[in-house]
């Protein structure tokens, strides 16, 4: 999801009275644009043929001045862990560094070029609108249609997964990229959508049937074959594997909730034939080579909850999930009645799931796996327990929501790929409780156990999963600071949880701090390191500690496990995480332009040894964007990054950048990054 505080970029367009108005936001951003034009180069060197290597960036720039309107530093956590003396090292003391690259300096939030360290190349591999099939139309932003968009790379790329070809191999030069297209920025996509030329008028979106239908086709997932050739990467438009899933694709549903009557709609009385997957944010690769993609902020597409009668039992649930009382931000409900809850009160129950797709089979019907719960899913990441059971870590990315994991009953079969396809339909979902003493427990969301009984309003396992959030409430799970990516480190078996921010922590009647969420009004976010009991991913108890409390290192409340924070890069708003094959943690951010007034970025940080916590900036993105992915090839020599919503803050007609082109609307794009030497990312 974009931006600083959860879904609030979109809230500003509403009239609900929170935050700045849309016009105020635009005026502020346009004034930044004027500044930008006077001080920065708008075009980039990366806008030509797919994945033409960019000339090396001038990697180092002078640090920017302190932000003028950054949030006030928050109080130090009362019990923030302190690095131990023996664990603290300085760069001069480190030999045989596991990440020897030279950190780049953070770049101001007006910068419209990407930056990487000396010795690295960047290529643009896939852009919004790139045709994915031999007969797909070329990108024509002035004349977009849903039919064309359905055959082109979608908007706002988020998750990136590299799956080698052939299936089951560790090929690093040829594979399938699975890319999520989380949501649309219609003001950046369509000419005339939003007129912001009059600073005294609240802009009114110019929404049409054609625009809405095109937006829906710009959502979903892309599967695209890519290969390394010479000095760079390109995609294969003719590949038999290429596929687009959109907001209208047929999707099946399985698991305990699949037979729930609330899945039935007037268009689908069976409740089994769902149309589309929406707001696909992060995702994960299964051990058997499929991808499970997360439906995150699905609530934003629906409208008019206020028109449901108060005694309708669905109303409380929809409200708990944030369905708007009145109009939605994109007004799809005016053109597609299924998004109008007053007309189709069950349609929202068909979203908020984790969806399994098989990239190696273009005819595979994706399946919403209900055992993984229904909430605003961020990632799904996979591990195999010592006894072979499959474990899925997943989180609900909203303020004060929960961390979950699923444990299968069956075991992974490495010899028979298709034998694994039912593993996610039989098991148990757990929700996390973080105790203040550094221990924790996974509590089963099992119907009939503890408070999940009919007396408390839960009628079946199906019912528990349909309203997973309410089940987590009943169990007293720990309310977190927006769980974004959660991922097990395959080298040390610990699990890393990115908590991106929660400025409502401790405000008004909201929950106050606890040891796992130790900062009030948490603007900068933090990263928790979780250790399962016995190093067993299927364990029902765990230990945890805070690995990084993000923010300006000069702020007393920031903390970097085991390392002197005066040596590290500033970081805020951790979002997507990944690991290289030696277990270094890589963190992409979403929100730094607001909190630190730096562009969002990618950082590498060792998690063990004398460099534990020694975080360095590797990549800087372009104005208005967040950094997603990240994904390494199996040999670590290429890093894929998704640049989501570049130029946000401008409009199609009044852009702040045309990145990665020299003109036209900015285009969300997937980048490939590699070292001149051909070595592993971060090792040179």
Residues in the site for ligand FEO, rule: CB under 6 A?
1, 182, 281, 296, 378, 397, 484
Decide the pairing of beta strands 601-605 and 157-164.
unpaired
* 648 touches, from Ca ion, ligand FEO, none (C-beta below 5 to 8 Å by class): none
Q: Cα separation of 603 and 417, whole Å?
A: 35
- If the CB atoms of residues 308 and 627 are measured against Ca ion, the closer one turns out to be 627
Asked if 393 and 293 count as a contact pair (C-beta separation under 8 A), the reply is: no
- Say what the alpha-carbon torsion angle 371, 375, 381, 386 is, to the nearest 10 degrees: -40
Cβ count within 10 A of residue 319: 15
- If the CB atoms of residues 281 and 672 are measured against ligand FEO, the closer one turns out to be 281
Three-state SS across 236-289?
A: CCCCCCCEEECCCCEEEEECHHHHCHHHCCCCCCCCCCEECCCCEEEEEECCCC
Q: How far is the CB of 157 from ligand FEO (least distance, A)?
A: 11
- If the CB atoms of residues 130 and 378 are measured against ligand FEO, the closer one turns out to be 378
Q: How far is the CB of 573 from Ca ion (least distance, A)?
A: 8
Q: How far is the CB of 575 from ligand FEO (least distance, A)?
A: 6
- If the CB atoms of residues 99 and 601 are measured against ligand FEO, the closer one turns out to be 601
Q: Cα separation of 112 and 648, whole Å?
A: 12
Is 223 strand, coil or helix?
Answer: strand
Q: Cα separation of 432 and 134, whole Å?
A: 47
Q: How far is the CB of 540 from ligand FEO (least distance, A)?
A: 26
Q: In terms of Cα–Cα distance, which of 414, 328, 320 is closest to 375? A: 320
- If the CB atoms of residues 5 and 340 are measured against Ca ion, the closer one turns out to be 5
- If the CB atoms of residues 104 and 157 are measured against ligand FEO, the closer one turns out to be 157
Q: How far apart are the first and last CA of the chain?
A: 32
- If the CB atoms of residues 279 and 513 are measured against ligand FEO, the closer one turns out to be 279
Scanning 321-467, the segments in alpha helix (DSSP H) are 461-466
- If the CB atoms of residues 9 and 305 are measured against Ca ion, the closer one turns out to be 9
Residue of this chain nearest to Ca ion (CB atom): 590
Asked if 620 and 115 count as a contact pair (C-beta separation under 8 A), the reply is: yes
* 333 touches, from Ca ion, ligand FEO, none (C-beta below 5 to 8 Å by class): none
- If the CB atoms of residues 33 and 505 are measured against ligand FEO, the closer one turns out to be 505
* 182 touches, from ligand FEO, Ca ion, none (C-beta below 5 to 8 Å by class): ligand FEO
Asked if 216 and 248 count as a contact pair (C-beta separation under 8 A), the reply is: yes
* 296 touches, from Ca ion, ligand FEO, none (C-beta below 5 to 8 Å by class): ligand FEO
Residues in touch with Ca ion (CB under 5 A): 1, 281, 484, 575, 590
Asked if 342 and 308 count as a contact pair (C-beta separation under 8 A), the reply is: yes
Q: In terms of Cα–Cα distance, which of 390, 446, 397, 392 is closest to 413? A: 390
Q: How far is the CB of 42 from Ca ion (least distance, A)?
A: 26
Q: How far is the CB of 499 from ligand FEO (least distance, A)?
A: 11
Q: How far is the CB of 642 from ligand FEO (least distance, A)?
A: 11
- If the CB atoms of residues 186 and 682 are measured against ligand FEO, the closer one turns out to be 186
Q: How far is the CB of 584 from ligand FEO (least distance, A)?
A: 23
Helix (H) or strand (E) holding 26: helix 22-39
Is 659 strand, coil or helix?
Answer: coil
Q: Cα separation of 587 and 601, whole Å?
A: 8
Q: How far is the CB of 60 from ligand FEO (least distance, A)?
A: 30
Asked if 1 and 281 count as a contact pair (C-beta separation under 8 A), the reply is: yes
Q: How far is the CB of 485 from Ca ion (least distance, A)?
A: 7
Q: How far is the CB of 297 from ligand FEO (least distance, A)?
A: 7
- If the CB atoms of residues 281 and 385 are measured against ligand FEO, the closer one turns out to be 281
Three-state SS across 590-646?
A: CCHHHHCCECCEEEEECCCHHHCCCCEEEEECCCCCEEEEEEECCCCCEEEEEEECC
- DSSP letter for 61, please: -
């Amino acid at each position: 999801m974009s931006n600083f505080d959860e879904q609030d970029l979109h809230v500003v367009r509403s009239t609900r009275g929170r935050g700045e108005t849309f016009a105020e936001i635009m005026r502020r951003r346009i004034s930044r644009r004027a500044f930008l034009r006077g001080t920065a180069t708008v075009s980039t060197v990366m806008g030509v043929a797919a994945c033409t290597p960019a000339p090396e960036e001038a990697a180092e720039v002078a640090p920017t001045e302190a932000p003028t309107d950054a949030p006030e530093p928050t109080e130090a956590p009362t019990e923030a862990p302190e690095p131990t003396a023996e664990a603290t090292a300085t760069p001069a003391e480190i030999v045989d560094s596991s990440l020897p690259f030279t950190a780049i300096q953070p770049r101001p939030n007006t910068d419209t070029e990407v930056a990487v360290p000396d010795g690295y190349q960047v290529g643009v591999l896939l852009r919004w609108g790139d045709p994915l099939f031999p007969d797909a139309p070329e990108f024509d932003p002035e004349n977009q249609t849903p039919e064309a968009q359905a055959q082109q790379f979608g908007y706002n790329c988020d998750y990136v997964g590299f799956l080698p070809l052939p299936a089951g191999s560790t090929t690093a030069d040829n594979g399938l990229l699975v890319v999520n297209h989380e949501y649309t920025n219609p003001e950046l996509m369509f000419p005339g959508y939003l007129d912001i030329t009059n600073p005294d008028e609240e802009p009114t979106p110019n929404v049409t049937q054609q625009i809405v239908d095109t937006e829906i086709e710009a959502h979903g997932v892309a599967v695209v074959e890519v290969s390394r050739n010479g000095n760079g990467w390109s995609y294969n438009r003719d590949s038999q594997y290429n596929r687009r899933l959109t907001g209208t694709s047929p999707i099946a549903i399985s698991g305990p909730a699949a037979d729930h009557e609330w899945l039935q709609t007037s268009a689908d009385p069976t409740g089994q034939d769902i149309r589309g997957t929406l707001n696909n944010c992060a995702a994960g690769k299964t051990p058997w080579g499929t991808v499970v993609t997360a439906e995150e902020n699905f609530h934003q597409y629906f409208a008019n909850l206020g028109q449901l009668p108060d005694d309708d039992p669905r109303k409380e649930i929809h409200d708990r999930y944030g369905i708007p009382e009145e109009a939605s931000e994109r007004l799809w409900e005016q053109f597609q009645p299924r998004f109008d809850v007053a007309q189709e009160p069950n349609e929202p129950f068909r979203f908020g799931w984790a969806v399994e797709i098989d990239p190696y089979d273009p005819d595979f019907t994706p399946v919403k796996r209900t055992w993984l719960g229904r909430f605003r899913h961020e990632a799904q990441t996979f591990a195999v327990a010592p006894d072979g059971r499959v474990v899925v870590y997943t989180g609900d990315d909203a303020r004060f929501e929960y961390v979950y994991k699923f444990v299968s009953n069956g075991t992974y079969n490495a010899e028979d790929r298709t034998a694994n396809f039912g593993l996610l339909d039989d098991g148990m979902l757990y929700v996390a409780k973080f105790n203040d003493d550094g221990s924790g427990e996974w509590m089963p969301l099992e119907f009939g156990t503890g408070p999940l009984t009919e007396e408390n309003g839960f009628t079946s396992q199906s019912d528990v999963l349909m309203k997973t959030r309410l089940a987590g409430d009943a169990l007293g799970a720990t309310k977190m600071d927006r769980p974004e990516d959660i991922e097990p480190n395959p080298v040390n078996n610990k699990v890393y949880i990115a908590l991106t921010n929660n400025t409502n922590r401790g405000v008004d009647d909201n929950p106050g701090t606890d040891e796992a969420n130790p900062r009030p009004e948490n603007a900068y976010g933090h990263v928790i390191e979780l250790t399962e009991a016995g190093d067993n991913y299927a364990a029902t108890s765990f230990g945890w500690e805070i690995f990084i409390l993000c923010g300006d290192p000069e702020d007393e409340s920031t903390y970097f496990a085991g390392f002197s924070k005066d040596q590290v890069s500033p970081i805020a708003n951790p979002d997507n995480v990944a690991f290289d094959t030696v277990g270094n943690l890589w963190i992409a951010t979403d929100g730094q332009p607001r909190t630190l007034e730096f562009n969002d970025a990618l950082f590498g940080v060792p998690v063990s040894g004398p460099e534990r916590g020694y975080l360095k900036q590797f990549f800087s993105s372009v104005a208005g964007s967040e950094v997603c992915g990240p994904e390494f090839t199996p040999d670590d020599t290429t890093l894929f990054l998704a640049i989501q919503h570049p130029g946000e803050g401008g409009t199609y007609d009044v852009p702040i950048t045309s990145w990665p082109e020299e003109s036209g609307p900015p285009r969300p794009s997937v980048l490939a990054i590699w070292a001149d030497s051909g070595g592993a990312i971060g090792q040179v």
